[in-house]
Amino acid sequence: MTAVAETSASLGHAIDRSSDPLIRVEGVWKIFGRNASRIVGTPDADLSRSELREKHDCVAAVRNVSFDVWPREVFVVMGLSGSGKSTLVRTLIRLIEPTAGRVEIDGGDITAANQTQLRELRRHTSSMVFQHFGLLAHRRVIDNVAFGLEIQGMPKAERLRRAEDVLKLVGLEDVANSFPDQLSGGMQQRVGLARAFAVEPKVMLYDEPFSALDPLIRRDMQDEVIRLQHETGKTMVFITHDLPEALRLGDRIAIMRDGAIVQLGTPEELVGSPADDYVANFVRDIPRSHVLTLRWIMRDPRSGEEDGPQLDIRTTVRNAVPLIVQSVKPVCAVEAGRVVGVVDKEAVLNAIAGENS
Ligand SMILES: Nc1ncnc2c1ncn2[C@@H]1O[C@H](COP(=O)(O)OP(=O)(O)OP(=O)(O)O)[C@@H](O)[C@H]1O
Ligand SMILES: [Mg+2]
């Protein structure tokens, strides 16, 4: 069984849904191959990946993908190797040209942007962290962190000052003058994070940044991302093929299979009601009580039930159990100061009964 620490949702950081989404992705396709442009919009677009390969000798890496990402949200894309995650995240800033569809970031139409606008986007609005850290070996840590600022044209003294601040943010101020190969893998990826944060992007894109790290370091780095997200309120698109990582970090998670999104939902929605066998297979080993919250298992209060002990509606079942077991009355789930439902022992047992099934 795979333990999951508190999920991002249960940690309760505030996503801003009062304004427009920061990223809008509508009907994006990426087909590799000579005949790529002739397929979208024809009946052949519905062919499976293998049929398309056979008939047109092309690969449908991303198929008709749409989603929105809200300010301050951590949006995770997950799927098996080859499902199209890296291609998708690269099409967002046109490191790979989408075959069809539309991407908007911060109100700007990326798909219509010219080269100057794209350069501007990649220098100021978005930052990417890659699996292989991509640090410049012959430059000191601090110069690596300042690199994006240098490209932006920031004067030297100012960019070094900013880089120092960001290095403090990730706890690396002591190695500012070291070279990357003098650092461990985890520290190098911290430098990668610092470099991405230094340009103060609106959007951070991560493509499996921690998959080269060993499990304990990986957990530290996840904590680091959660902490940085809380402190800086960045909007993030985070690619991973590791479900516990997805559940820990993601406010919402899109599960990809063969280029398409098969389910998009909160960690609770994926674990509580997987859309198909592919998703069910992913979430099978996750203990439901670690992910499902009172919101998922509560029911309407009957009369006289509203004066039981209270818990925040985002409390996970696991954390609610001690109080529910102790209490004669059902526990009240509270949202914004109001009781919105109750949870009794039966609801907890039902939620837990789904585990290992
Ligand atoms: N330049 C390319 N030319 C042809 N096919 C490609 C190209 N890039 C990717 N593909 C194919 O597109 C599909 C999706 O690849 P992608 O790298 O996006 O997957 P992924 O989900 O990121 O996988 P991984 O977890 O292994 O990184 C794969 O079948 C891959 O072989
Ligand atoms: Mg990839």
For the CA of 87, the nearest ligand: 1
| Average pLDDT score over residue span 175-203 | 91
CA diameter of the chain: 71
Instruction: Give the relative orientation of helices 215-232 and 185-198 as an angle to the nearest 10 degrees.
Output: 20
Binding site membership of 125 for ligand 1 (Cβ less than 6 Å): no
| pLDDT tens-place string over residues 93-107 | 999 999 999 999 999
Question: Dihedral angle at the C-alpha atoms of 215, 221, 222, 226, nearest 10 degrees?
Answer: 160
Ligand 1, atom 8, lies closest to the CA of 87
Instruction: With a cut of 80, say whether residue 190 has pLDDT above it.
Output: yes
Cβ partners under 8 Å of residue 35, min gap 6: 56, 57, 58
Ligand 1, atom 4, lies closest to the CA of 32
Ligand 1, atom 29, lies closest to the CA of 82
Report the nearest atom of ligand 1 relative to the CA of 87: 18
CB 213 within 8 A of CB 192: no
Binding site membership of 308 for ligand 1 (Cβ less than 6 Å): no
Give the percent of the chain with pLDDT over 70.
95
Binding site membership of 77 for ligand 1 (Cβ less than 6 Å): no
Report the nearest atom of ligand 1 relative to the CA of 33: 4
CB 285 within 8 A of CB 106: no
Binding site membership of 209 for ligand 1 (Cβ less than 6 Å): no
Binding site membership of 86 for ligand 1 (Cβ less than 6 Å): yes
Residue 32 C-alpha to ligand 1 middle, in angstroms? 9
Given phi > 0 = left and psi -120 to 50 = alpha, else beta, which region is 317? alpha
Residue 122 C-alpha to ligand 1 middle, in angstroms? 22
Q: Would you give the end-to-end CA distance of the chain in angstroms?
A: 12
| Average pLDDT score over residue span 169-183 | 92
The residue length of the chain stands at 357
- Whole-structure pTM value: 0.90
Binding site membership of 257 for ligand 1 (Cβ less than 6 Å): no
Residue 207 C-alpha to ligand 2 middle, in angstroms? 7
Cα–Cα distance measured from residue 183 to residue 154, given in angstroms and rounded to the nearest whole number: 27
Alpha-carbon 26 to chain mean position: 18
Structure tokens at 162: 């900013």
| Average pLDDT score over residue span 231-242 | 92
Cα–Cα distance measured from residue 65 to residue 52, given in angstroms and rounded to the nearest whole number: 17
Residue 348 C-alpha to ligand 1 middle, in angstroms? 42
Which one is predicted more confidently, 12 or 222?
Answer: 222
Q: What is the average pLDDT score of the chain?
A: 90
Residue 82 C-alpha to ligand 1 middle, in angstroms? 5
Report the nearest atom of ligand 1 relative to the CA of 59: 5
Ligand 1, atom 27, lies closest to the CA of 81
Binding site membership of 241 for ligand 1 (Cβ less than 6 Å): yes
Query: How does residue 183 score in pLDDT terms, banded at 50, 70 and 90?
Result: very high
The pLDDT value recorded for residue 220 is 87
Query: How does residue 185 score in pLDDT terms, banded at 50, 70 and 90?
Result: confident
Beta-carbon count within 10 A of 24 CB: 18
Report the nearest atom of ligand 1 relative to the CA of 239: 22
Residue 84 C-alpha to ligand 2 middle, in angstroms? 7
For the CA of 80, the nearest ligand: 1
Query: How does residue 354 score in pLDDT terms, banded at 50, 70 and 90?
Result: low
| pLDDT tens-place string over residues 263-294 | 999 999 999 999 999 999 989 888 899 999 99
Residue 129 C-alpha to ligand 2 middle, in angstroms? 12
Instruction: Give the relative orientation of helices 345-353 and 317-326 as an angle to the nearest 10 degrees.
Output: 140
For the CA of 85, the nearest ligand: 1
Residue 80 C-alpha to ligand 2 middle, in angstroms? 9
Which one is predicted more confidently, 274 or 131?
Answer: 274
Give the 3-state secondary structure of 266-288.
CHHHHHHCCCCHHHHHHHCCCCH
DSSP 38-59: GTTTSGGGGS-HHHHHHHHS-E
Binding site membership of 59 for ligand 1 (Cβ less than 6 Å): yes
